[in-house]
Structure 1
Amino acid sequence: MTPIAFTLIVTGVLLNACAQLLLKAGTNAVGHFEFSRANLLPIALRLGTQWPIVGGLACYVVSVVVWIMALSRVDVSLAYPMLSLGYVVNAIAAYYLFGEALTMQRLLGIGIVLVGVYVLART
């Protein structure tokens, strides 16, 4: 894998992870809500005016462009599993940003993902 392809993959992964974290921040600001006919429009307006939600959606748009560029350089069978690095980034970032738990079971899962990506990247 070339350095440019690797950079594109990592950038795509980080943009995707950033999008998830921004969406979570936006929903935290809105709070728990239920979808129903009565509150569909008010909830949509509340979500649509949260800058983290808008930023998260923008990150997704940019990540798709970056991902398409990566796929033009790397086999999808190699690139797609690299997206699992986003699980690692999100788990660690959620711990620091949102106080989410990093239990031993989650840490073990993160370790397994990292080993899998390492094995995959060496082939």
Structure 2
Amino acid sequence: MKFLPFILFTVLTNAAAQLMLKYGMMQLGPLSFAGVNPLLKILQIVFSPWVFMGLSVFVISMASHLYVLSKVELSYAYPFLSLAYVAVAVFAYFVFREDLNAMRIAGIALICVGTVFIAQGGSPIHGENELAALPTDSTREVSR
């Protein structure tokens, strides 16, 4: 629970980056490489304002995720990233008017339930189980 705010920050920045990337690509219109140098087209995409901002926020999200991974188990932290899909689906419904049908809502509910199960189980902090098994000074004194 101690690192949950950092995990949620990672999730939210990941979702925000995806929304910015989508908006940026919508601003650029359909991609066509016909008659255009592919490298110039890629540079045009990367340096368009919303795509560039989305990539920048994604870098922040990855930096946050690396911090989280240095503190908690991967099998605990990684499933939380699925909550980014939940956030993206909800925001895409409201912002981009994308479809949010019954099957997607059911899938979102399953993702949320699964994430709650994962959050409740196991030791999320690296080495927490191993530290509990190590002898303390008081147990060393008794064994002498």
Which of 71, 75, 78 is matched with 2:76 structurally?
A: 78
1:54-84: per-residue Cα shift (whole Å, max 9, x none)?
1111011111111111112211100001100
Cα distance in structure 1, aligned partners of 2:8 and 2:37 = 39
Q: TM-score, normalised by structure 1?
A: 0.91
8 Å contact kept, 1:30–1:46 = no
Structure 2 regions of 5+ residues with no counterpart?
Answer: 122-144
Deviation at 1:24, TM superposition (A): 0.2
Gaps spanning 5+ residues in structure 1: where?
none
Most deviating of 32-41 and 57-66: 32-41
Number of equivalences? 121
2:49 aligns with 51
**Cα RMSD between the aligned structures?**
1.5
Range with bigger deviation, 40-49 or 17-26 = 40-49
**Which sits farther off after the overlay, 67-76 or 99-108?**
67-76
Residue identity in the other structure for 2:91 = A
Matched residues, percent identical?
Answer: 37
- Larger RCO (alpha carbons 8 Å, 6+ apart): 1
* Alignment pair present for 1:67 and 2:104: no
C-alpha separation in 2, matches of 1:48 and 1:68: 23
